[in-house]
Amino acid sequence: MNAIRPPVSDPAIVLGVTGPNASGKGEVCRFLSAHGFAVHSLSDVIRDEAARQGVPPEREHLIRLGNELRERGGSGVLARGILPKLDGPAVIDSIRNPEEVAVLRELPRFVLLGVHAPVELRFARSRERARPGDPQTLEAFVGREQQENSKDPAAQQLDATFALADETVENAGDLDRLYARIVEILADRNVIVDV
């Protein structure tokens, strides 16, 4: 199995992943998982709550429920829920609010990756993966994205969160290029991925 080799004296690195829908965040997480990183998602906290409440799993319902959780528990509530689960090298997906980043920055080796791709390519990827509730037109896709860019501190703020990225990853090419960029980012932080 391929593994990571951080310096022995350093605390484990934790990578956060943010970016718009279908930009390739899941591919980043799959790559890191295959190389020894534990994968966590802030969306899992929302999905668990949705299941508990009997809320349908479609994206628009999850967005609403996530906003409600942030209103009740503060904008960093989802990130605070993940902290106890972190043990060793990890990647955290679905970071969508600047306060989540602030909570995770309390970790000694946190790095926020912003993953992006052109909107037309992301829409094509979204159509291909065909998740329940995904928009069926480019206009609806862009409209949903605008909903995820609220000024409300308890809501999703994708653009503001992306602006906090320590590193950006343009994912408009093939997967080998994406993976090479992740390896480069890790190497810059003395974490070597055996590929």
Give the CA-trace dihedral at 140, 141, 146, 150, to 10 degrees: 110
Domains and CATH numbers, the chain: 13-189 (3.40.50.300)
Does residue 109 carry a pLDDT above 50? yes
Counting Cα atoms < 13 Å in the Cβ hemisphere of 2 gives 13
User: Is pLDDT of 6 > 50?
Assistant: no
- Write down the pLDDT at residue 104: 97
Is the pLDDT assigned to residue 176 strictly greater than 60? yes
pTM (predicted TM-score): 0.86
Check whether 95 has a pLDDT greater than 90: yes
CA neighbours closer than 13 Å in the CB half-sphere of residue 188:
9
- The 3-class secondary structure across the chain, one letter per residue, is CCCEECCCCCCCCEEEEECCCCCCHHHHHHHHHCCCCEEEEHHHHHHHHHHHHCCCCCHHHHHHHHHHHHHHHCCCHHHHHHHHHCCCCEEEECCCCHHHHHHHCCCCCEEEEEEECCHHHHHHHHHHHCCCCCCCCHHHHHHHHHHCECCCCCCCEHHHHHCCCCEEEECCCCHHHHHHHHHHHHHCCCCEECC
| pLDDT digit string, tens, across residues 47-88 | 888 999 999 988 788 888 988 998 899 999 999 989 988 989
pLDDT, mean over the chain: 90
So what's the pLDDT on residue 5? 52
Q: Is the four-CA dihedral 25, 126, 121, 144 of positive or negative sign?
A: negative
| Measured distance CA(68)–CA(156) in Å, rounded | 11
Confidence category of residue 45, pLDDT binned at 50, 70, 90: confident
Q: How confident is the model at residue 1 (pLDDT cuts 50, 70, 90)?
A: very low
